[in-house]
Amino acid sequence: MLNANRTFEFSRRGAAPAKRRRNRLAPVRRIRRALATGICAGAALLSGAAIPAQAQQGAAQQPVMPVGYNAALRGHAGSVTHGAPHCHSYPYTYTPSYGPCLPYGQAPTPAQPSDQTGADQAQSDAAPDAAPTPAPAPVPAPVSSSPSMSSASGSQSSPASASVNSIGDFYGITSYRDTILTPDPIFGIAPYAIPNPGESLVGRIKAAENNSPFPQDRVFLDYTAYQNVPFGLAEVDVERFVPGFERTFQDGLFSVEMRMPLAQTLDSTLVAGAPLETDSWEAGNLYVATKMLLYNGEFFTFAGGMGISTPTAQDIDIVASPAFSTSIENRAVHLLPYFAMQFVPGETFFFQYYIQTDVDLNGNPVYVNGDLQGVYQAETLLYNDLVFGAWLYDDPSSSLLRSVAGVTELHFTNNLSDPDTITGASADIAGGDPDLDIVTGIVGLHFLYAGGARVTLGYGAPLADDRFADGELRVMLNWGPPFGALGSLAGVGR
């Protein structure tokens, strides 16, 4: 007698309880799951995908989940990316809708609507009580950490992120020795010292003044207070302001900069025997330079550039008596090629080095009472500048002060040619000691603020007998993207 409470399914062998059929299919399902998992693992190994150790350990501890179970939603260690029904017990995933197995943590391609295949239909008929596969959980893109000291120092990303500008020390060699003007005895005037004919009373500009090996987009203003600059006639306190800008091109590989120095200094018209006017505002020589990034590696950066100093400063006029006057016309164009390097060995320290020559191309003509006595050619100079720095503070999330760096700098100035001498019909001009050896030490702090503003404070003093001044206080302001276009490409969000 048939039990009316049991359902039957007819086959070739006759009536049989449906429960017996499900029991016979259970091993088949387990075999299918095992085969699918093996196929996924084999495909992953053949493709060379690495299995994270954490994922392997989690997979070994994770129990086999029922078909359709989304392991990722349960948060098991080593669970699959999107909980596919066939690969949930291994850190690779596969479903017919989502394509081949994917490495652990990789987001799958979103499923495209498609017709259910015959195999899927058979599985659905065989297990109507199985839960459908949930839609894949969205995998968020990796969130990069906020810039920290490592990014600020450029240890592993790009040295551009570590670049602070050098402070510099330079004024001019007019302050290192006397240049003697000797009038013809017929005028009855004794020899006397004059400012160096090779430069203006505002001083010169070189590459290692508020500069970096990296091209930058910025506007800036430099202020320097020089104490006791010896001009020969007297020692004068000079205050110099240098406004300028720098603009990058070709994705930050090139830049052009321009600087126009102004100073409260000795007046360009000197009257012998009269009190010196030392608070006159004078314009200096316009400085224009180009820069090219030649190499930018993980730890080392190398750049080259060319500066040109154009004669925009006032001529120097010296009136010794109503019958004798001397005029040194400012006509010299100076060419200043240079190389700059930066080395960042780790997260804290950084080093910069600049080497540059200063070549007078044509000299300045000297006139006495309107008669040309000759052309004074300024000696060729060699500049070597070293910067040693370390990051002292870093808070990239701050809305005000984000980083502080301390630096120590050593600056060396030497001459590669002897001072010029003019022997004229009415006067002679002779330079001093041909051996020039100026060494200046600088200590300073760089403050980097949110929004791209940078403030630099520094103080320098001579370390040798030859000197620019007895001391110099420097304040530098820079505005713009913190590290130029290259720094933006490196991901430095300061």
pLDDT one-digit tens code per residue, 419-472: 888 888 888 888 766 788 899 999 999 999 998 899 999 999 999 888 888 999
199 and 172 in contact (C-beta within 8 Å)? Answer: yes
Report the share of the chain in percent with pLDDT over 70: 63
Average the pLDDT over 340-355 and give the result: 95
pTM of the model: 0.66
Is 186 within the bounds of a domain? Answer: yes
Is 32 within the bounds of a domain? Answer: yes
- Both 24 and 67 in one domain: the answer is yes
- Both 215 and 248 in one domain: the answer is yes
Q: How far apart are the first and last CA of the chain?
A: 86
- Both 184 and 87 in one domain: the answer is no
Is residue 277 scored above 50 in pLDDT? yes
Average the pLDDT over 22-49 and give the result: 58
Is 132 within the bounds of a domain? Answer: no
- Both 320 and 413 in one domain: the answer is yes
HSE-CB of 283 using CA atoms within 13 angstroms: 12
- Both 208 and 75 in one domain: the answer is no
Is 138 within the bounds of a domain? Answer: no
Residue where a domain stops, chosen among 111, 126, 141: 126
Is 456 within the bounds of a domain? Answer: yes
- Both 485 and 361 in one domain: the answer is yes
197 and 328 in contact (C-beta within 8 Å)? Answer: yes
CA-CA distances (angstroms) from residue 51 to 56, 57, 105, 136, 161? 7, 10, 10, 21, 34
Give residue 418's pLDDT.
86
H or E stretch covering 150? helix 149-153
Residue 307: which residues within 8 A CB-CB, separation 6 or more? 205, 206, 207, 287, 288, 289, 334, 335, 336, 337, 338, 356
- Both 203 and 243 in one domain: the answer is yes
Cα–Cα dist 148/130, whole Å: 49
Span 158-190, pLDDT tens digits: 444 457 999 999 888 764 456 788 888 777 787
Residue 273: which residues within 8 A CB-CB, separation 6 or more? none
Q: How many domains does the chain have?
A: 2
Cα–Cα dist 115/132, whole Å: 15
- Both 114 and 230 in one domain: the answer is no
Is 3 within the bounds of a domain? Answer: no
- Both 367 and 472 in one domain: the answer is yes
Residue where a domain stops, chosen among 62, 92, 126: 126
Give residue 27's pLDDT.
58
Is residue 250 scored above 60 in pLDDT? yes
Residue 79: which domain range?
8-126
- Both 191 and 233 in one domain: the answer is yes
- DSSP SS3 for 223: strand
Residue 456: which residues within 8 A CB-CB, separation 6 or more? 164, 165, 167, 210, 444, 445, 446, 447, 474, 475, 476, 477, 478
CATH number at residue 477: 2.40.160.40
Is 464 within the bounds of a domain? Answer: yes
Residue where a domain stops, chosen among 126, 142, 176: 126
- DSSP SS3 for 4: coil
Average the pLDDT over 381-394 and give the result: 96
Is 18 within the bounds of a domain? Answer: yes
Which has the minimum average pLDDT: 9-18, 42-51, 325-334, 359-368?
Answer: 9-18
